[in-house]
A and B are shown apart, each in its own frame.
Chain A
Amino acid sequence: MISNAITASNLTKKFGNFTAVDNITFNVKRGEVFGFLGANGAGKTTAIKMLIGLSKPSGGEATVAGLNLMTQSEKIKERIGYMSQKFSLYEDLTIRQNINFYGGVYGLKRKDIRTKTADILAELQLEDKADEKVGGLPLGWKQRLSFSVANVHDPDVVFLDEPTGGVDPATRRQFWEMIYAAASGGRTIFVTTHYMDEAEYCDRISIMVAGKIAALGTPGELKERFAAKSMDEVFLRLVR
């Protein structure tokens, strides 16, 4: 069993002269909820895009789910789930059709897609809306549905890019319950966020500043190191 779900060493991404991600090195353990923090433009999304194979690294090495990012990025795609900042399920398909499509794309059998669909609908309590178009759902439900669809193929690692942007605290709470449930089953969660209360929910966090990792540790360790009462304070100290 591989102990590290993600390893990154000196991972770099340059756009011309601009270095968006500058030699970052970190490991994420299997089953961990890893928080990836940083101000806007600090390079979080670029880093995540490299790890999920949407953007080719300019330098460095990385493994995801035990596979080499440079040589096996298509293989990695079968083992990871991804939920982007922007809602990206098909709004003109129904909930059932979206689950069916992504299940099929990830190679699930018809029978498994059926059970998965039933599970997801039950978990989100959306049974009566199964055949409604996704576009009409409230944002909170869309986000939770996206998360479920990102998990439809039981991936080893799930990448979440600001998954709770714009939703109310109660829905965020429900969302984090879903994250914990997934992590307790051994799934690794890599999540970027702006909300410092959410950072507290993570097992470990890294804070990116100007393309570099400025701090990495458990929320407790970081607060101690920066002699701060809350993660808010830690963040503000680093970013300023």
Chain B
Amino acid sequence: MRRLLFIIQKEFIQIIGNRAMLPLMTILPIVQLMLLSFAADSEVKNVNITITDLDQSQFSRQLIGQITASDRFTLINAPLAMRISDHDLLAGEADIVLNIPPDFERNFLKGYPAKLQLLVNAINGQAATVGSGYLMSIIRDYNEDIRLETAMGVGRVPSRIEVASANWYNPDLNYKYFMVPGILGELVIILVILLSAMNTVREREIGTIEQINVTPIKSWQFILGKMIPFVFIGMLLLTIGLTAGKVIFDIPMVGSLWVVFGYCLVNLIAVLGIGLLISNLVDTQQQAMLVAFFFVMIFILMSGLFTPIESMPDWAQLLTIPNPVAHFVAVMRKVLLKGSGFADVAWNFRVTAIMALVFNGLAVLSYRKVS
């Protein structure tokens, strides 16, 4: 036990003594947090639209007026030929093209179905769905209005279904509230996995590991001695990050921070197991970096941070189960935004604890004092 304390002490001296490392480990992630949180905004604010009005009627002009009155849409062109509006779409200038056919008003007044054509540039899938969603709702509202107007004389108006929606947990749909906790979780994990992956292999490259291996230090003491300082760093980073998130973005913290920190602890242990395992299996720091990056990329892109896990194919959803970043992002969002308690994230705790056991077990086994 005393031996472990000496190892921890030595690791701390090395980390703190390295003047470049400490600021790199604390300031850079905060810069990243701010940068990513401001930039990774998938809210669709501006949709460029081209409208071809072949009807040139009162109805069609009213509709165009409604669309252009919305601050989400910018009317970039209003040609009188569909050929030209198609061109706008092909050239990538228009996100959406709305074609109003010649008999739009007449059909409507006669009680025939009045048709509109909507062409969406779906290269950016999210902008396309969101943009056409906005447009559809404008058209629907307008439809409702003209039906009421024209129905006056006719008499009976079929009652409509009113949908009143509310956004729970993030009522203003503030995208940053959603992103900041997730990005913060991801940053903590990435930093720690990279640092730990480089650690043992560094000692091997320098040759100090040989001296360690002739001492009576046991494998688990060595691994634990490496791990504990990194757990501290991870926790420190989480604390700084949450503070920055609160101060800069005013992110909500509905749930218990104890659950967040408790989960972070378990997750750090699991991730450090992966990092130290990588470090034990490779021969050089360069290899460690490449292997760590391989996993880091997969962990991030399949974490549900930027794209929802629910919309991944089934096999990919299964792959997110052993992904520590996915769990961390989920727990951060659930607890901070939704106020989930321990019981609600118990599954994440359990899976992560199993990963911690497996990877650390492997790390201890793969650290060989004897060749």
Contacts and interface: CB of A to CB of B under 8 A. Distances in A.
Contact of B216 (A82, A92, A106): A106
Interface in A92-138: 92-93, 97, 100-102, 104-107
B370 A53 contact: yes
Given A54-B213, A90-B10, A93-B14, A105 B208 contact: no
Contacts of B311: none
Given A97-B10, A102-B215, A106-B216, A55 B210 contact: no
B211 interface: yes
B125 interface: no
Interface in B1-30: 2-3, 5-7, 9-10, 13-14, 17-18
A223 interface: no
B217 interface: yes
A74 to B, nearest CB: 6
Contacts of A56: 370-371
> Chain A interface mostly helix, strand, loop or mixed?
loop
A54 B5 CA distance: 24
A160 interface: no
Given A82-B214, A107-B3, A54 B370 contact: yes
B210 A88 contact: yes
A105 to B, nearest CB: 5
Query: Looking at B10, B18, B369, which has the most chain A CB atoms within 10 Å of its CB?
Result: B10
Interface residues of A, number: 29
B301 to A, nearest CB: 35
B13 to A, nearest CB: 6
A84 B210 CA distance: 8
B207 interface: yes
B17 A92 contact: yes
Nearest to B14: A92
A77 interface: yes
Given A92-B17, A93-B17, A80 B2 contact: no
Contacts of A82: 211, 214
Contacts of B7: 101, 105
Given A82-B214, A88-B207, A88-B210, A54 B369 contact: yes
Interface in A199-233: none
Contacts of B216: 74, 77-78, 105-107
A104 B14 contact: no
Contacts of B14: 90, 92-93
B213 A84 contact: no
A27 interface: no
Interface of B: 2-3, 5-7, 9-10, 13-14, 17-18, 206-208, 210-218, 369-371
20 contacts: A49-B371, A53-B213, A53-B214, A54-B214, A56-B371, A73-B370, A77-B215, A82-B211, A84-B210, A86-B207, A89-B208, A90-B10, A92-B14, A92-B18, A93-B17, A97-B10, A97-B13, A101-B9, A102-B215, A107-B3
Given A55-B370, A101-B10, 14 more contacts: A53-B213, A54-B213, A77-B215, A88-B206, A89-B208, A91-B206, A92-B17, A97-B13, A100-B6, A104-B3, A105-B6, A105-B217, A107-B2, A107-B216
